[in-house]
Amino acid sequence: MYRPQKWILQAIQRGYRRHYVHAYLFISPVLLVFGLFRVWPALQTLYFSFYRVELASHRLVYVGLENFIDLFHDDIFLGAVINTFLYAFAIVPISAAAGLILAVLFNERFPAKELLKGVYFAPMVTSTVAAAVVWWWLYNPQYGLFNAILRLLHLPPSPWLLSTKTALLSIVLFSIWKTVGYNMVIYIAGLQAIPSEFYEAATIDGASSIQQFWRITVPLLAPVTTFILIYNGIFAFQVFDQVLVLTGGGPANATNVIVLEIYRQAFQRYRFGYAAAEAMVLFLLILIITIIQFRTSRRFEVTY
Amino acid sequence: MRLKIFWRIVIFLIVSAGALVMLLPFYWMVVTSISPAPEIIAFPPRWIPSHIVWDHFREAWSRAPWLVYYKNSLIVATVSVMCSVVFGIFAGYAFAVYRFPFQNLFFLLILGTLMVPVQVTSVALYVFLARLGWVDTYQGILAPNFASAFAVYLIRQSVQTVPAELLDAARIDGAGEVQIIFRIVVPLIKPVLAAVAMLLFLSSWNDFLWPVIVINSEHMRTLPVGIALFKDPYGFINYGPLMAATVISIAPMLIAYALSQRFMIRGIAMTGMRF
């Protein structure tokens, strides 16, 4: 066997000894900027949530749990939490299912496939704000295109964003359009990892395509689905851009969501301590949802 | 066989119909922006304008300093991408190649920032930056995006695929660590770096919540902030200029996307990153 010369080993060893310095030097820029602009504000948020913050006079008044107690009696905040849950529970499964169906369809062979894939993905690269401005126009009850199409089909027009009953649903529709391309791309990547032998064997055994979908595709994509549900869930709880543009939280707070509520309390009413308490609730919700989804989805995961 | 072709046609038709629905908002945005004013609100809708008018664009262009918005978005996105990628290369290399005390703690700390997005920390971050005097400045807009946990994670993953013998050989030849990174590692992981850079650029370009918080003055606005505030004074029906403004604000990114569609989609599939 070839043995490296002693001086080579020493050189390598010397190299590794030096590497503590290198290691800390190399990770220090990331640690510095994250420490300053991510970790420190996160700790400050927790700290502020127990205080009344007066930014102009640089004064902090300790109020204990008052902010949190107020939160649980604040109907607007509780409404925002409920709306955020409704939004997340609507958008996450629908967008994931639509993405899966599209991915399965795109697994077949047909003309102009890449172009069509690109079309479904286009809303993803468009700024949410600009796209929402366009949809705001489409949703216009009098002159908007959506009601014009409904009229052409002899269907009753919808008030879309202007009614407490349909406003949140309208935002969900927008978000499905916006995000379905992402889920589709992730699922397509997942599908390509499934060996085609599974389908060939199932076809020989006489399984129909529907059976193959439920018995092969869905179980084998379970890890991808887990990823998509968790990731989309986290994003759904942070929804803000489209709500601000489409409704501003209205009508009558029917579409108010947690991040919008934080934004209003902090930057329109300057109640930083209260907003910090709301932000802590948001953080806890994201944490809990992630843990629950990890736990439950692991049970459904299958490996062949 | 004939059945198979039949199904292919059916699937093609379904997918195409869906694609038309996906395109509809884009199409209507463009049609509204070039239609004569009465046709915008006509019923039944005028799918093709009788003639093209540029008045809406002229008005939209004169009502807001779009070139300034472009410039701001470009500066913020470029600096954010360059810092995130360079810092990410160094940190990703360190986490992949070295073994050092508190390595896992630091790595988890960096990944942990993904659980605490700016949506959660915006309040305290704003107070902190106000004290630094960074509100309404480029460095203020950039603050939470000087580094990316995603970039560190993805670069670490791909550096781990580089054989250690290669790095050792370079060390024996007397290469310094920085030299090794830029001469050996970076060329090997270029595809990942390109995908990460592209996705970070997109996310910065379209970022809204933090910029709208930290920007006060018009000359600091990025494109998304500009278009959002452009919409506000339009309580009355004046959708032509508004749609022209959205065309102005999203056209560069859509053109870039049209030219590099495969690359962008492959980047998402490769990294799983959403923005």
Domain count, chain A: 2
Q: How many CB atoms lie within 10 A of CB B108?
A: 9
List, as ranges, residues 17-46 from B with C-beta within 8 Å of A. 18-19, 22-26, 28-29, 32, 40-41, 43-45
Query: Binning pLDDT at 50, 70 and 90, where does residue B271 land?
Result: confident
Mean pLDDT, range B192-214, rounded to an integer: 93
Closest Cβ opposite residue A287 in set B23, B115, B125: B115
- Whether residue A302 contacts residue A75, with contact meaning beta carbons closer than 8 Å, is answered with no
- Whether residue B150 contacts residue B196, with contact meaning beta carbons closer than 8 Å, is answered with yes
Query: Binning pLDDT at 50, 70 and 90, where does residue B266 land?
Result: confident
Residue B269: list chain A partners with CB under 8 A: 185-186, 188-189
Q: Distance between alpha carbon B199 and the CA centroid of its chain, in Å?
A: 6
| Of A255-269, B83-97, B102-116, B203-217, the least confident | B102-116
Residue A246: inside a domain, yes or no? yes
Residue A185: list chain B partners with CB under 8 A: 265, 268-269
User: In chain A, how long is the greatest CA-to-CA distance?
Assistant: 88
Q: What pLDDT is stored for residue A42 in this prediction? A: 93
Residue A40: inside a domain, yes or no? yes
A20 and A117 co-located in one domain:
no
Q: How far apart, in Å, do the first and last CA atoms of chain B sit?
A: 43
Note whether B243 contacts A272, CB cutoff 8 Å.
no
Taking the domains of chain B in order of start, what are their residue ranges?
68-271
Residue A24: list chain B partners with CB under 8 A: 100
Tens-digit pLDDT string for chain A (304 aa): 556 667 666 666 655 556 788 899 999 999 999 999 999 999 999 999 999 888 777 788 888 898 999 999 999 999 999 999 999 999 999 999 999 999 999 988 888 888 999 999 999 999 999 999 999 999 999 889 999 999 999 999 999 999 999 999 999 999 999 999 999 999 999 998 888 888 888 888 888 888 888 888 898 898 889 889 888 998 999 999 999 999 998 899 999 999 999 999 999 988 999 999 999 999 999 999 888 877 876 665 555 5
A93 and A36 co-located in one domain:
no
- Closest of B223, B227, B107 to residue A34, by C-alpha: B107
- Whether residue B118 contacts residue B125, with contact meaning beta carbons closer than 8 Å, is answered with yes
A180 and A285 co-located in one domain:
yes
Backbone angles phi, psi at A94, to 5 degrees: -65, -45
Cα–Cα distance between B117 and A279 in angstroms, integer? Answer: 10
Cα–Cα distance between B13 and B19 in angstroms, integer? Answer: 10
> Residue A130: which domain range?
67-300
A143 and A281 co-located in one domain:
yes
A42 and A191 co-located in one domain:
no
A35 and A75 co-located in one domain:
no
Distance from CA of A89 to the nearest CA of B (A): 19
A40 and A75 co-located in one domain:
no
pLDDT in tens, B8-57: 899 999 999 999 999 999 999 999 999 998 888 888 888 999 999 999 99
Residue A57: inside a domain, yes or no? no
Helix (H) or strand (E) segment spanning residue A235: helix A222-237
**DSSP-assigned beta bridge partners for residue A59:** A54
A93 and A150 co-located in one domain:
yes
Q: Over chain A, what is the mean pLDDT?
A: 89
Q: What pLDDT is stored for residue B70 in this prediction? A: 95
Distance from CA of B109 to the nearest CA of A (A): 9
Strands A59-62 and A51-54: antiparallel
Note whether A122 contacts B249, CB cutoff 8 Å.
no
A92 and A169 co-located in one domain:
yes
How many contacts does A have with B, using Cβ atoms within 8 A?
279
- The CATH class that applies to domain B68-271 reads mainly alpha
Closest Cβ opposite residue A108 in set B11, B152, B206: B11
Residue A236: list chain B partners with CB under 8 A: none
Cα–Cα distance between A140 and A159 in angstroms, integer? Answer: 8
A172 and A37 co-located in one domain:
no
Q: What pLDDT is stored for residue B112 in this prediction? A: 86
Residue B25: list chain A partners with CB under 8 A: 123, 131, 134-135, 138, 177
Whether A118 has its CB under 8 Å from any CB of chain B: the answer is yes
Cα–Cα distance between B82 and B147 in angstroms, integer? Answer: 9
The answer to whether residue B210 scores a pLDDT higher than 70 is yes
Both tokens of B132, joined, read: 């630094």
Both tokens of A135, joined, read: 């949809």
A93 and A183 co-located in one domain:
yes
Q: Over chain B, what is the mean pLDDT?
A: 91
A18 and A139 co-located in one domain:
no
Q: What pLDDT is stored for residue A166 in this prediction? A: 93
Residue B31: list chain A partners with CB under 8 A: none
Its ipTM equals: 0.92
pLDDT in tens, A135-148: 999 999 988 999 99
Whether B11 has its CB under 8 Å from any CB of chain A: the answer is yes
- Closest of A189, A233, A283 to residue A90, by C-alpha: A233
Q: What pLDDT is stored for residue B116 in this prediction? A: 87
